[in-house]
Structure 1
Amino acid sequence: ENNEMNFAEAVEETLKPIKSGEVVKGVVIGITPTEVRVDIGNKYDGVIPFSELTDDSNADINELVKLGEEVEVYVVLVSDRDGVVTLSKKKIDAVKGMEEIRKAFESGEILTGRVLELVKGGVVSIVKGVRVFIPVSECAERFLADLGVLLGTEQRFRIIKLDEDRRGRQRVVGSIKSVAKEESEKAAAEFWANAEVGKKYTGKVKSLTSFGAFVDLGGVDGLVHISELSWNRIKHPSEVVKAGDEITVYIKDMNKETGKVSLGYKKEEDSPWVQATKDLKVGDVIKCKIVRILPFGAFAEVAPYVDGLIHVSQISNERIDKPSDVLAIGDEVETKIVEINDDTKQIGLSIKALMTTDDSADEAPEEVEATSYTEDSSFTLGDILDAAEATEDADNTDAE
C-alpha cells in the first residue's frame, strides 16, 4: 500500500505545472552538440540550448556537463504545444558567480577568464558565468592599439568596479593592467637581483625601431642595437628579427639606476673574423685583392669583412716611398701571412716574403728580426680616416 502511495505521489509530482522563472533541479539524460536534455521530474523533459549553457562559442559542451550529473537550472519557457521546457544553466551560474565575483572584488583576488567579445571601448570576458567588461585603458600595462590580439585568450584580471547601471543591471568592470603591472614590478625586482653582464636570456621581441630591437626579458626590456643584430651590415632590424620572435640574448651592459639594459645577439663564433681565420695560420700563402691604400700600407681582403694589412715595408724588396707606387686598388696579389692577432683582430701580410733575390745561393741568408707588422704600425679607425682625408686633399690639389 505504501508503494502504491509513493508511486501515486510521484505521478502527481510530474503532473504539477511548472512555470517560467522557477528554479528547478534535474539530471542530465542526453547531450548533443547543440543542446543538453534534462529530466526535471516533469511530464516534459527540459532542454538547455547551447546558448543557455555558456556564452563561450568555442567551449566543448561535453566538458560543461556530464551524463547523470545533477544540475540546477532556470525555467525560461514552458511550451505545452511542443511538450518542451526550455532551461538555462548560465543564468543560475551567473547568480552564483556574482556572489563569488563580489567576494573577489572585496578581497582583490586575481581571476582568470577568456576574452570572448570586442565591444565599443574595450573587451568582454566571462568568469564564473558573469560578463566582465574590461575598458581599453585597462586591457594592458601599456596602451594596446589592437584589442583583437586579446580575443580568445585567457587573461588574468581584478575586479575594480562593481555597481548597477541606470536600469538596475549589475555592472562588473575588470582590469588586466593592474595585474600585469604588479607582475611586471615583481619580475623586474627579480631580474635586477640576478642580472649580470654576460648572462644569457630568452626573451620576446616587443618592438623594432630604426636603431634596434627591444626585447622583453621578463619585467624589464633590453635593447639590441642594430649593430649587434648581425655581423653583416643591415639597414633595418626587420632584416633579422620581427616582433613576437623569441630570441636568445646576453647582457652586454646594464644600469640599474636608469633601468637600461644593453643586449648582445650575434654570436662570436659566427663573426667574420672567426670564420675567416679558423682555417688560416701564419705561413700560409693566400691570394687577395687590394681594397684600400694608405700612406703606411695597403689593405687586402682576406675574406668578406676581414682585411689584412700589407705594411709598406712588406710590399717590395726595394725601398718605396708610398704603397701606391707599386699597388692599385683592385690588384690581386699573392701574399704570405706573417701574423694573426686574435686580440686586436688584425692580420699581417707580406708580398716581400715571397720575393726571390738575385743574391748567390751560396751566400748566407740575411737574418730578419721578427717584428709585428700590425702592432708596430698599429692603426685605428681615426688613423685610416685621417690618412684617407689627407690623400683626398692631395688629389684635389693636384687636380687644381
Structure 2
Amino acid sequence: MSEEMNMMENRDFQIGDRVKGIVDKIEEKAVTVTINGAPFDGIIPISELSSLHIEKASDSVQVGDELDLVITKVEDENYVLSKRKVDAEQAWDALETKFQTGEIIEAEVKDVVKGGLVVDLGVRGFVPASLVEDYFVESFEDYKGKVMTFKIVEMEKENNRLILSHRAVVEKEKESQKVHVMETIHPGDQLKGKVQRIASFGAFVDIGGVDGLVHISQLSHEHVDKVSDVVTEGQEVSVKVLSVDRDSERISLSIKDTLPGPWDAIEEKAPKGSVHDGTVKRLVSYGAFVEVMPGVEGLVHISQIAHKHIATPNEVLKEGQEVQVKVIEVNKADKRLSLSIKELHEKEAEQDYTEYEAPEETSGFSIRDVIGDKLKGFKSE
C-alpha cells in the first residue's frame, strides 16, 4: 500500500476519534487491539487501561475483550489509544447525577493506600480514613477486595477529584434505625442489646440503632460500686425498657429487671425455722435490719434481740456486725422476713430467792451471848 493511500486511510481515524477495539495481544505493559476498518493496529499503554494503578495489563483486560477507546496519538503506523479516558468521560456524567441525587453507590475497594481507600468507578475514587467508618479503624488491610456502599461527598471533574464516604451511608442507616426504634419500643419491652460504652453513672446499651442508658442502680439487685464490675464494652445483655422520651430521644433501661430477684423463691432459700449468718445493716429504734443474703434483709425486732430487756438495739448490736439469726416468719408478697437472735441463745437462769430459807439456829448461842461482854460496862440509869 502506497504512502499516499495510507494517508488517505488515516484521515478516517483522527486523534480524538472514538473507536472500538478487540484485544488481540496482551504484553506486560501494553495491549494490542485490532480496529475494524483501520489500516493498522492500535496500542493501549498500561497507563491508559485504567484510572487505577495496575502492575500488569492482564489485570485489566483479556484477549477477545471489546473495548471502547479514543485515539490519542498516531505514530509509526500505530494508533495510540486510551481506555481510561473513555471510561472517565462516561463515568463523570453518571457520577454527576448520583452526586446531585445523593444516590448510594456500591463498589469494590481496589486498593488500600496511606490515608484511606481507593475504588474504581470509571474514575479513581478516594475514601479518606475519617470517612470509612463512624468509629476509629486501626488498620484498613482487611478492606481490600471488600464490596462496600458509598456516597459522593465531593467531586471536581476538572481536577479529576472524587471523594467518597462510607461513613455517611452508615450514619444515614443508623438514623433510620433510630427513628424506627423510637417509634416502636414501649416501656416494659424486653430486648437484646450490646454495651457500647461505660460511664461512672451507668452503661449505654445499643438496642438496634439507638443507645439507651442503664443507670448504675439498674445493673444488679446487689449494690454496685463500679459499673465495670458488672458489664464490659461489647457485652451482649438483656434489658427491659423503663421509659421512652421521644422528644429528647432518651431511653431508660434496666438489666436488673431481667434477672431473677433476690426475693424469688425466698420460701425455699430462707424457710421458717432456718438459721442464717447475716450482717447488721441498719439500727433503728424498734430493731435491727440484717442482710441474710445479697439483696435480702430481715428485721430483728427489739424484742427478739436478747432475752433481757434492752432500751435500744445499739446496747447489744452495731452496724456491720456479723450475727446469726433464725427465720421466724416469711412474707414473700411484702418482701419481709422476721428474724430472731435471742431464739438461738439459751435463756439466762433467773435467781429465785424463794428457794432459799433462813439458816436454822443450831449453835445455841443468843445475841446476848455474843455481845454480852460489851454490855457489862453499861448500867441502867
Q: TM-score range with shorter-chain normalisation?
A: 0.5 to 0.7
Aligned equivalent of 1:103, options 86, 97, 105? 97
Aligned equivalent of 1:25, options 22, 42, 56? 22
Of the structure 1 ranges 100-109 and 346-355, higher mean CA displacement relative to structure 2 is found in 346-355
Residue in structure 2 matched with residue 286 of structure 1 by the alignment: 275
Please state whether the residue corresponding to 2:303 is helix, strand or coil. Answer: helix
Q: Which amino acid aligns with 1:261?
A: I
Aligned equivalent of 1:258, options 244, 248, 254? 248
Q: Decide whether the 8 Å contact of 2:278 with 2:325 is kept in 1.
A: no
Alpha-carbon distance between aligned partners in 1 of 2:225 and 2:53, rounded to the nearest angstrom: 46
Percent of pairs with identical residues: 31
Q: Please give the per-residue CA displacement for 1:94-150, whole angstroms capped at 9, x wherever unaligned.
A: 555444323322432111235544655xx3441534332345775566xx5x35466
Residue in structure 2 matched with residue 161 of structure 1 by the alignment: 154
Alignment of 1:174 with 2:167, yes or no, is: no
Residue in structure 1 matched with residue 65 of structure 2 by the alignment: 70
1:268-279 alignment, distance < 5 Å: 268-274=258-264, 277=266, 279=268
**Cα distance change on mapping 1:354 and 1:198 into 2, 3 Å:** same
Alpha-carbon distance between aligned partners in 2 of 1:138 and 1:74, rounded to the nearest angstrom: 34
5+ long unaligned stretches in structure 2 = 1-17, 71-80, 350-381
Please state whether the residue corresponding to 2:309 is helix, strand or coil. Answer: coil
Residue in structure 2 matched with residue 186 of structure 1 by the alignment: 176
Residue in structure 2 matched with residue 362 of structure 1 by the alignment: none
Q: Which amino acid aligns with 2:156?
A: D
**Cα distance change on mapping 1:341 and 1:260 into 2, 3 Å:** farther
Q: Decide whether the 8 Å contact of 2:204 with 2:212 is kept in 1.
A: yes
Q: Please give the per-residue CA displacement for 1:177-211, whole angstroms capped at 9, x wherever unaligned.
A: 54444433432322222110121333343333222
Alpha-carbon distance between aligned partners in 2 of 1:293 and 1:106, rounded to the nearest angstrom: 69
1:382-393 alignment, distance < 5 Å: none
Alignment of 1:131 with 2:124, yes or no, is: yes
Alpha-carbon distance between aligned partners in 2 of 1:339 and 1:89, rounded to the nearest angstrom: 90
Residue in structure 1 matched with residue 338 of structure 2 by the alignment: 348
1:215-364 alignment, distance < 5 Å: 215-266=205-256, 268-274=258-264, 277=266, 279-292=268-281, 294=283, 295-327=285-317, 333-353=323-343
Q: Which amino acid aligns with 2:95?
A: I
Alpha-carbon distance between aligned partners in 1 of 2:275 and 2:259, rounded to the nearest angstrom: 23
Alpha-carbon distance between aligned partners in 2 of 1:274 and 1:90, rounded to the nearest angstrom: 73
Residue in structure 2 matched with residue 205 of structure 1 by the alignment: 195
Shift of 1:285: 1.7
Alpha-carbon distance between aligned partners in 2 of 1:93 and 1:246, rounded to the nearest angstrom: 47
**Cα distance change on mapping 1:236 and 1:26 into 2, 3 Å:** farther
Q: Which amino acid aligns with 1:237?
A: V
Q: Could you say which structure has the larger radius of gyration?
A: 2
Q: Decide whether the 8 Å contact of 1:72 with 1:92 is kept in 2.
A: no
Please state whether the residue corresponding to 1:279 is helix, strand or coil. Answer: helix
**Cα distance change on mapping 1:117 and 1:199 into 2, 3 Å:** same
Alpha-carbon distance between aligned partners in 1 of 2:235 and 2:320, rounded to the nearest angstrom: 41
Q: Which amino acid aligns with 2:179?
A: A
Q: Which amino acid aligns with 1:206?
A: Q
Q: Decide whether the 8 Å contact of 1:288 with 1:300 is kept in 2.
A: no
Q: Decide whether the 8 Å contact of 2:52 with 2:120 is kept in 1.
A: no
Q: Please give the per-residue CA displacement for 1:48-92, whole angstroms capped at 9, x wherever unaligned.
A: 98xx779699xxx99x98x887353879xxxxxxxxxxx998776
5+ long unaligned stretches in structure 1 = 1-20, 76-86, 360-400
Alpha-carbon distance between aligned partners in 2 of 1:135 and 1:245, rounded to the nearest angstrom: 30
Q: Decide whether the 8 Å contact of 1:199 with 1:251 is kept in 2.
A: yes
Q: Decide whether the 8 Å contact of 1:124 with 1:131 is kept in 2.
A: no
Residue in structure 1 matched with residue 366 of structure 2 by the alignment: none
What TM-score do the two structures reach when normalised by structure 2? 0.61
